[in-house]
Amino acid sequence: MRAAPSQEEVRRHNLGTLLRHVHLRGPTSRAELTASMGLNRSTIGALTADLVAAGLVTEEVPPAQGRAGRPSLVVRPLAERVYAYAFCLEVDRIVAARVGLGGVVLDRRELARPRGERPAPKVVAPFAEFVRDVEKGVPADAVCVGSAAAVSGMVRKEDGTVQLCEAGWVDTTFTAAVAEALSRTRGAVAPLEVRNAADLAALAEHSRGVAVDCDNVIYLYGDAGISGGVIAGGRPITGHGGHGGEVGHMVVNPQGRSCGCGSKGCWETEIGESALIRAAGRDGTGREAVLAVVDAAGRGDAMAQAALRQVGDWLGFGVANLVNIFNPELVIFGGTLRDVYLSSAAQVRGRLTRMVLVAARDHVRLRTPSLGDDAALLGAADLAFEGLLTDPLDSSANPP
């Protein structure tokens, strides 16, 4: 039998729970913390004092609310003092940000990226440049607690090796390249964590976005391909090597087109950007080309409307399968799938009505992301804060 946790272990666990609460929900009164954590007022007071002493939160008297009695102090994370670096490598852009405790974006830079660009050191160089520039303005008493990157590609869990879905950039030691680039900057950015962008976006929407309070969530993201993040029972499904949730390569049409992965008739060959653009009789790639089809359909272009109906039907086909497998409360459409879904919701819903088991169909809701295009970036920041949130007084994460 496992021994009961010691008083010290309980205290550390509670410190982490309290800090995570204000990190995700923002400034919170002691009274609300008392209620949500189920602890008594003096315990909350002692925990807060420890976090104040560690330089992680501050306590403030809230503005007068015209009520009698002493107001409950508000606990606020010290975003300016405790921060992490978050990086996002996508098919068409890269984003770097310095994010304060509480998920506050303090500095942010976004650059367009040519598709298929390589080698890795060239791709990641702007991350290091960003850190170098930003660090010049960071207050001397501020502390970086970690860094993480979201990559729109397949990320091997054990060593962060990245397989981009773009042709020709396979098995790149992305993690090593970023770590090497960052090692030449002043910021204490190690350790670097790397995860799939859709997985991190799903986690961010789950912990601070549209899927808060939903423990079964499917997040779909469209760019050049289709990626997905699945949360089941409150936990991300990553699979053995970190490649779980690659829903874009679920085969839906054995008579379909060849896919970049080597298979045929994958879902992304029917709903990805090139499928839509081709069906609309147009050229081009990227979000602008997708939005041009959506715009044209809105203005009455019959070919664009037919293309969206066709792609929407396949979108619903795949979502129906996923709903039958995972029984989610929420399906979220991110990236270009957001616009495709909004323009073809009737087709998507039609497929769900015909294909999904009644028991699973009743409560599933279809939504667009509430964190927008920065969901993966914020998910990366949360990942970088994870060590601190798990054990706020751990020496490796705690500011001196």
Strands 330-335 and 235-236, bridge-based pairing:
unpaired
Where does residue 202 fall: left (phi above 0), alpha (psi -120 to 50 degrees), or beta otherwise? alpha
Q: Interacting stretch for Zn ion, rule CB under 5 A, among 115-123, 183-191, 251-259, 388-396?
A: 251-259
Task: Assess 154 for contact with Zn ion (CB under 5 A).
Answer: no
Task: Assess 249 for contact with Zn ion (CB under 5 A).
Answer: yes
Task: Assess 266 for contact with Zn ion (CB under 5 A).
Answer: yes
Task: Assess 17 for contact with Zn ion (CB under 5 A).
Answer: no
3-state secondary structure of 88: strand
Q: Interacting stretch for Zn ion, rule CB under 5 A, among 53-61, 265-273, 279-287, 299-307?
A: 265-273
Distance of CA 244 to the CA centre of its chain: 15
Question: Do 377 and 371 contact (CB within 8 A), yes or no?
Answer: no
Instruction: Return the structure tokens found at 263.
Output: 């298979």
Task: Assess 389 for contact with Zn ion (CB under 5 A).
Answer: no
Q: For residues 241 and 236, give the distance between their C-alpha atoms in angstroms, rounded to a whole number.
A: 13
**How many CB atoms are located within 10 Å of the residue 254 CB?**
8
The contacts of residue 102 (CB under 8 Å, 6+ apart) are 22, 23, 26, 76, 77, 79
Task: Assess 165 for contact with Zn ion (CB under 5 A).
Answer: no
CB of 267 vs Zn ion, minimal distance in Å:
8
Task: Assess 259 for contact with Zn ion (CB under 5 A).
Answer: yes
Closer to Zn ion by Cβ: residue 259 or 275 = 259
Task: Assess 263 for contact with Zn ion (CB under 5 A).
Answer: yes
Number of residues that bind Zn ion (CB under 5 A): 5
Q: For residues 117 and 113, give the distance between their C-alpha atoms in angstroms, rounded to a whole number.
A: 7
Q: For residues 98 and 84, give the distance between their C-alpha atoms in angstroms, rounded to a whole number.
A: 6
Closer to Zn ion by Cβ: residue 143 or 259 = 259
Task: Assess 56 for contact with Zn ion (CB under 5 A).
Answer: no
CB of 251 vs Zn ion, minimal distance in Å:
8
CB of 224 vs Zn ion, minimal distance in Å:
12
The residues that touch Zn ion, with contacts defined as CB under 5 A, are 249, 259, 261, 263, 266
